[in-house]
Chain A
């Protein structure tokens, strides 16, 4: 089936099978492997991307459902070689170890800060509750989001 999507600002049409998941489409058809597949069962959040402005778990969306949509993946956040403030926060605050969960964490944090630019710690933990990290113990991720919040609201 033919679909048209705008991924990180680039508009293109593709031919996909209806059963292809959005995450597989992004990774294997578009070639953007920053979005990860962790559980494939909507639990871990590693596959999170922005779909028309909403963070979604792209393992639980069909690529055909994204026909006509605008998608932002982790690759779309940095602008002109400058890290996005959330990415910078993860860098500065050691918000990652292995990095597997990081793209999804950053997308979830992005959604949170859009809706609530100055979240407190509880807000942050709730905002990323759909994302699992097996390395950091979360505290450094919370710090990273706080760093980004400060920088973005300055």
Chain B
């Protein structure tokens, strides 16, 4: 690790001031489970690190009847162990529990993972499937951006210079909804070779009134599998297999490395989409 100056602001306001002051020289530190490894490898070598760990109020997770909020600094474990989330939106704790291992979940944060936008991270798929809104603080005040507009490319998001992700908002799913996150783990790292989050709401006849599917690990950025969704809306569980066949439609470039080829990842996307949708529908019923 190359040397750096370390700042630990106590308020978001002073954090934002530091971010403006140091600009591109600075990196914002949340749980440190992406940034610190990158710094050890010197993939990142910021001269200033601004640690948000002490900023009051960014760790809260709330689960209301209308809205679920997750502070950007909430750990994966905070979501995994939240008392109300299993009944309000089980997709969230289920995703959290799939990340890394116990020690990593204790420390890594939801916001950090999202802002880092690793192409194999778990949260992007789930945030897409839940139509999450991301709250962002910047030099000109605050703005919100939908998950579907946020993940742009490999490690690239809609976050602009000087902006910081502060929280996540999700509309609490209605009755008759269910979700599931399933993934194929790369066995050493635990990252997703392919991971699929599905969230469905059923109508009175047991057909899908709404379907949302997020896929991670397969393309440079996590994406919504719209072709799957379109094929399944208005249909029941019998249509899942055919719909899931579209899980990699429209992907122009596949992630490809020594762990898995692009073809294999596309295959996994289809298989895991089928599994995620079947489970989600099961749970919604």
Q: Which residues of A contact B (CB under 8 A)?
A: 1, 17-19, 21, 40-43, 45, 48, 54-57, 60-62, 64-65, 67, 108, 111-112, 115, 126-127, 129-131
Total number of residue pairs linking A and B with CB closer than 8 Å: 74
The distance in angstroms between the C-alpha atoms of A42 and B40, with both chains bound, is: 11
B102 touches A55 (CB 8 A): yes
Q: List 21 A-B contacts (CB under 8 A).
A: A18-B4, A18-B49, A40-B40, A42-B33, A42-B103, A48-B103, A54-B77, A55-B106, A56-B103, A56-B106, A57-B107, A60-B36, A60-B37, A61-B36, A64-B8, A65-B53, A67-B8, A108-B102, A111-B106, A112-B102, A130-B104
The distance in angstroms between the C-alpha atoms of A129 and B185, with both chains bound, is: 13
The distance in angstroms between the C-alpha atoms of A42 and B101, with both chains bound, is: 10
The distance in angstroms between the C-alpha atoms of A43 and B189, with both chains bound, is: 7
The distance in angstroms between the C-alpha atoms of A56 and B33, with both chains bound, is: 11
Q: Which residues from B are CB-within-8-Å of A126?
A: 102
Q: Which residues from A are CB-within-8-Å of B22?
A: none
* Shortest CB distance B86–A (Å): 15
For chain B, residues 146 to 185, give those with C-beta under 8 angstroms from any C-beta of chain A: none
B103 touches A45 (CB 8 A): yes
For B41, the closest partner residue in chain A by CB is A41
* Shortest CB distance A23–B (Å): 12
Interface string of B65-78 (1 = CB under 8 A from A): 00000000000010
